[in-house]
Amino acid sequence: MKKEFDKIVRNRRSVRRFKKINIDHEDVKNSILHASLAPNSSNLQLWEFYHITKSDLMKKISKACFDQPAARTANQFVVVVTRKDLWNSRRNFNINYIKNRPESSTGEGLKKRSIALKYYKYLIPTVYREFYGLLGYFRYINAFLIGLFRPIYRQVRNSDMRIVAHKSAGLAAQNFMLSMTSKGFDTCPMEGFDSLRVKNILSLPRSSEINMIISCGIRDYKGVYGDQIRVPFEKIYFKR
């Protein structure tokens, strides 16, 4: 298994040109399922995945991606969207699951259930609830003052929570791309696109944000631009 995973990671490349070969929609859908299994902050799963297969939408998305080769030659697209605005409904999903989950008859099981419920009922609203951005700054100042005396979580502003949502979405995107590689398919994560036009094309709410657009297909030999170059490992690895 270790060798197979190493092979998958090394074989995954950002492919800029794809062959004119169709790939199965269900295979891509299955890889999106793998994406949804990625670790994410507080299990809120503040993401959505839009699987683009219709030719008219493909053309519109490609144009919004400036018709770059990775978009123009793609067989399908997956648009990874962050939905920080859904924090409350996803919080309630977790609360309902915890309440209905069969618990151990021991006191330890009931104690863990109580702690989990308090986390979602009180802590999550504390860090996600907003009032024109003002609550975030109040939380930031409060964390700074408390942090003078003890360790405390400091990323509590609205902008910080946006970053949290995008980090989780990035983890999901990587799951998706590795899953596609394991099936013999290729991908290219794109950040070059007109986000407003993409949101209009997909009828997304203003509160949503595009994390990335991933083009999918089978690589053309011209689609891999040279060797995979990385800075020396000793420049980024620090053992303490």
Nearest-Å Rg of the Cα atoms of the chain is 21
Q: SS3 of 197, please?
A: helix
Sheet holding 76-82, edge to edge: 47-52, 76-82, 209-217, 186-190
Is 151 inside a domain boundary?
A: yes
pLDDT tens by residue, 92-118: 999 999 998 877 556 777 888 899 999
pLDDT the model gives residue 142 = 81
pTM of structure: 0.93
- By residue range, what is the domain housing residue 216? 17-81+160-223
Question: Phi and psi for 14 in degrees, rounded to 5?
Answer: -80, 105
Question: Which residue, 133, 155, 177, sits at the end of a domain?
Answer: 155
pLDDT the model gives residue 96 = 95
Q: Which of 240, 179, 168, 217 is nearest to 69 (CA)?
A: 217
pLDDT the model gives residue 130 = 85
> Do 100 and 127 sit in the same domain of this protein?
yes
Question: Which residue, 155, 180, 199, sits at the end of a domain?
Answer: 155
Residues paired with 190 in a beta bridge:
213
pLDDT tens by residue, 200-212: 999 999 999 999 9
Across 14-23, 125-134, 185-194, least confident range: 125-134
| CB-CB contact of 31 with 176 (8 Å) | yes
> Do 77 and 112 sit in the same domain of this protein?
no
Is 126 inside a domain boundary?
A: yes
pLDDT the model gives residue 106 = 67
Is the pLDDT at 8 greater than 90? The verdict is yes
